[in-house]
Structure 1
Amino acid sequence: MDALYSIILGIVEGITEFLPISSTGHLIVAGELFKGLQATPWTKEMKDAFEVIIQGGAILSVLVYYFRDIAQIRHIATDKTQQNLWTSVLIACLPAVVIGAALGSTIKHYLFTPSVVAWALIVGGILIWIVESRKTTPQVHNIESIKPGKALLIGLVQCLAMVWPGFSRSASSILGGMLLGLDRPTATKFSFYLGLITLGGASLLDLIKSRHILGEIGALNMILGIGISFVVAYASIGWLLKFVSTNDFKPFAIYRIIAGIIILVLIATGVLQNANLA
């Protein structure tokens, strides 16, 4: 069952990390369902550490998918385009660093519950629908053109996902980008780049804190989780970029609202326990 648990969580992480539907929310609910079924003997500490580990697979998928683009950073000393791009990325990540340092443990302690996730999914779905219903013409069509001031605003919007588990880091950063004039593919790609720094830094810090528990999880489970998360996330990135080139995000809005309602029903019927999971 440990291997099955690793595989399923790896799939969930890979699918949801970069789609605007919240990986944190889906992992919280998936873990609670497994606990309710008594399908794994893992402790909460082991589960939390494992979620950080498999997130590394998703982050690696971005590095591999955009390897040629990211490798251009080697010219940053002389290339003003690269200087602007990475300055904007780093500036956009600053609010998340501040919020995470100040409120991260408090948010995990009080807000990591299925009901909080459910309402975040529903409200986020409604906001996606509203943003996609606007009649506007995007002004920014590549991430190299994003100015630092606009990047900071996107980073501030991204923090919505940090203070409201289940809202989705991808959804908040993409919505923020679109509200500030980025077209869908550009907002989506910039969200991926933000994930490299935001998720990478947070995951590394959490992994260092949880290093004592890795032996209990087991090498096979970690390899399964990371490998599956990487493969599925890589496929999800390619699919999402292709999808947004010809479609809007309204299907994700519908999915989020339906998923949120289902979670609330599962809580009301006792299938999901609405206990604090932090």
Structure 2
Amino acid sequence: MEQYIVPVILGIVEGLTEFIPVSSTGHLILSGELLNFTGAKAATFEVFIQLGAILAVVVLYRERFRRFFTFENIMSGFKMKQHELNWMHIAVAILPALILGYLVHDIIKEYLFSAETVLIGLLIGGIVMIVAERIPILTFSTDLDKINFRQCLVIGLAQCLSLWPGFSRSGATISGGLLAGMDHKTAAEFSFIIAVPVMIAATGYDLLKSWSLITPDFMVTLLIGFVVSFVVAVLAIVGFLKLLQRVKLTPFAVYRFILAVGYYLIILR
């Protein structure tokens, strides 16, 4: 029974936390420690179920992704058109993290995947979110098709912070979007969209390196986590967008502080 309960729990954790600014990687690491699900297979499982969350974005924003492959949109990217979201916006926003992630991938995996480093990421990331929300910056992009390349670069650089486990990719990119002049909804939706190529690249690279661990028995565990992650992520994205427009980022930052301090005092101390 445990072989089914653990992937269901972790699938729920991944689906709930992947696209809200609380760090899915951090929650999976902390949850894995509590469930005694650690090691190489656990790491491979945590990577694989992210694909379920990715699929949720593709399904919810399927019309937007379809437009990326139209002739007009492709040509808009080559012509460097600032408005009407195209593949060039995505490229500018994801290249910094992809390049840096490739360069420091092994260092991150070896030294930063621990409960202690996750708690640090939760705290610092929460502070960054509050600061980004408090700085008075003129909001001039209230729609995905009004984003410019400078804003994409700011978000791309901010996304590099999320390479530290616990910092949160969505927390970093939404904060970067606010600092670049986007409203909360636009920053969040752009964060969801650029997550797809970034996470496909990251998960694909990790899975290629650990492919030998994926046995037929283990595949059942992976598929359970994948399906649960997908279903929960669809619900989480829809709910998060509604909640974000009402409460903004600060409550999520406070949650991060409570989680970090509580986990340290109860589990690690």
- TM-based fold match above 0.5: yes
Partner of 1:58: 53
CA contact (8 A) 1:20 1:252 kept: yes
Task: Specify the alignment match of 1:240 in structure 2.
Answer: 240
Q: In structure 1, what is the Cα distance between the partners aligned to 2:20 and 2:217?
A: 27
Q: TM-score, normalised by structure 1?
A: 0.89
Matched, 1:183 2:178: no
- Give the match for residue 272 of structure 1: none
Please tell me the root mean square deviation across aligned C-alpha atoms, in Å: 1.8
Residue 165 (structure 1) aligns with: 165
Deviations 1:174-219 (A, max 9, x none): 1001001010000000100110011111111212222211116523
Q: 1:18 deviation in Å?
A: 0.3
Give the letter for the 2:61 counterpart.
Answer: Y
Q: In the TM superposition, what is the alpha-carbon distance from 1:171 to its structure 2 partner? A: 0.3
Question: Aligned with 2:215: secondary structure?
Answer: helix
Given that residues 132 and 176 in structure 2 are in contact (C-alpha distance below 8 angstroms), is that contact kept between their aligned partners in structure 1? no
Give the AA of the match of 2:206: D
Q: Distance in 2 between matches of 1:138 and 1:195?
A: 23
Amino acid at match of 1:129: I
Q: Deviations over 1:117-143 (max 9, x none)?
A: 112111222222222223443111112
Residue 84 of structure 2 contacts residue 146 of structure 2 at CA under 8 Å; is this kept in 1? no
1:91 is matched with 92
Distance 2:109 2:201 in 1: 17
Q: Which residue does the alignment assign to 2:40? A: 45
Long gaps (5+) in structure 2: none
Letter in 2 for 1:143: L
Structure 2 Cα separation of the partners of residues 191 and 68 of structure 1: 17
Specify the alignment match of 1:275 in structure 2.
Answer: none
**TM-score, normalised by the number of residues in structure 2:** 0.92
Comparing 205-214 with 227-236, greater Cα deviation is found at: 205-214
Aligned-partner SS, 2:259: helix
TM-superposed deviation, 1:250 = 1.1
1:76-98 CA distances to partner (integer Å, 9 max, x unpaired)? 44563787532111111101111
Task: Tell me if structure 2 keeps the 8 A contact 1:77–1:83.
Answer: no
How many residue pairs align between the two structures? Answer: 262
Is the 1:12–1:23 Cα contact (8 Å) retained in structure 2? yes
Structure 1 residue runs of 5 or longer lacking an equivalent are 270-278
